[in-house]
Amino acid sequence: MKKIYLTLFTLTGVFCIASAQIQLTANSAYNVGDSANTQDIDPVPIFPTSSGANVPANYSNVTPTGGLTPLVYISPVGTPYATLFNNATVVVPAVSLQGVSGYSYYTKTNTEVNLIGVGSPSYIMNFSNPQLLLKFPIAYGDSILDAFNASYEVNGALVKRSGTVTSAADAWGDITTPRGTEPYLRLNTTQEIVDSFFIEGELFQRGETFTRTYNYFGVNMVAPLFSYSTVISTFGSTEFASYLVDVTTSVNNQPFTNIEQALAYPNPIQNNTLYLDFDLVNGSNLQISIIDITGKSTVLIPSFVYHSGKHQLAFDMSSMANGVYNVLIQNKNGVGKSLRVVKH
């Protein structure tokens, strides 16, 4: 199930604390190298806030379920299905503790984001009419209407998909989650999908899915601050909810002024070898580690004094399971860079 991810004021005491509404642009949206962790929560007691201006949302007392879910944006280069989706500019792997199960391919421009294909060992989904996800800029009161078509084969059946998506930026205010209180712009999205299954040219089954998603976005759109979805289909219904735990962007990584640049590549990892390049302004005592999504350190290079200038390290990843890893470069105070990579 694909989650569609797409803000500012509280009244306290006798004073009105004013702030400007959020406007989301292409610069707000995700880029290659961005990543985030989200926490799934029990959706049963969740109720979306009302639409409108200056609407406070409080989801601070939620119940986590399971561990963190990583979200990472990578380059199409080196991914298994890149040649099928030549126009893709960014890819999102579907990641779990079991590894990477598939890849979603997107095109992102200064004006919009489209889903153009999905690749996995089970099926390849090609969009003859891409699915419009975001259209920039997005401000309170804006809306998007789109129709899309795709096809794929599964279990010997040809599946033809048609669908419509309607999104409306219908609320803004301040939202409180376990992460804290932040301004938001909410995107209220409804998606209707019809999957028609054909065997030997004959229609034998049709499945319908209706999804409504409320995404509360902050100024950074790598992942929503809070998300709630209801899904009703021919085969049943369910709910999902999550909140943003942390985010790392390729442009604004964790502050560490002694490192001019740091790069972990290739991403995704190829031939079981990961390279780490970094450039130090001054010599520094650093610890370098590679952490899996459970928080376990799989590689640790103890503290070592690196001279100023350029450095390159190579890591053998052959013994590590497929999945998402964080490469951490930290000084003695624990401050440093975090780079997220994928092994498939």
Q: Once rounded to an integer, what is the mean pLDDT over residues 219-240?
A: 94
Listing DSSP states for 266-304 in one string gives EEEEETTEEEEEEEESS-EEEEEEEEETTS-EEEEEEEE
**Pairwise CA distance, residues 19 & 301, whole Å:** 46
Tokens of 292: 């899996």
Cα(251)–Cα(234) distance, rounded to whole angstroms?
43
From the CB of residue 231, how many other CB atoms can be counted at a distance below 10 Å?
A: 16
Is residue 112 left, alpha or beta, with left meaning phi > 0 and alpha meaning psi from -120 to 50?
Answer: beta
Which of 53-57, 148-152, 212-216, 336-340 is least confident? 336-340
User: What is the average per-residue pLDDT within 203-228?
Assistant: 95
User: Token match 């004021």: residue?
Assistant: 9
| Amino acid at position 198, single letter | F
Whole-model pTM: value is 0.76
pLDDT for residue 97: 61
CB 124 within 8 A of CB 22: no
More confident residue, 336 or 63: 63
Identify the pLDDT of residue 20: 57
Question: Which range has the top average pLDDT, 219-223, 233-237, 286-290?
Answer: 233-237
Top CATH class, 259-343: mainly beta
Flag whether pLDDT at 196 surpasses 80: yes
Domain boundaries, the chain: 10-248, 259-343
Average pLDDT (140-150) is: 97
Asked which of 129-133, 242-246, 248-252, 332-336 is least confident by mean pLDDT, the reply is 248-252
167: its two tokens: 């999104």
Question: If you average pLDDT over every residue of the chain, what do you get?
Answer: 86
pLDDT digits (tens, 9 = 90+) for 47-60: 999 999 999 999 99
Average pLDDT for 322-335:
78
- Which H or E run contains 162? strand 157-177
Mean pLDDT, rounded, for 3-27: 49
Percent of the residues in the chain that have a pLDDT greater than 70, as a whole number: 88
Output the CA–CA distances (angstroms, integers) from residue 242 to 95, 103, 213, 228, 322, in the order listed: 16, 21, 11, 7, 24
**Rounded percentage of the chain residues whose pLDDT exceeds 90:** 55
Strand partners, 151: 126, 160
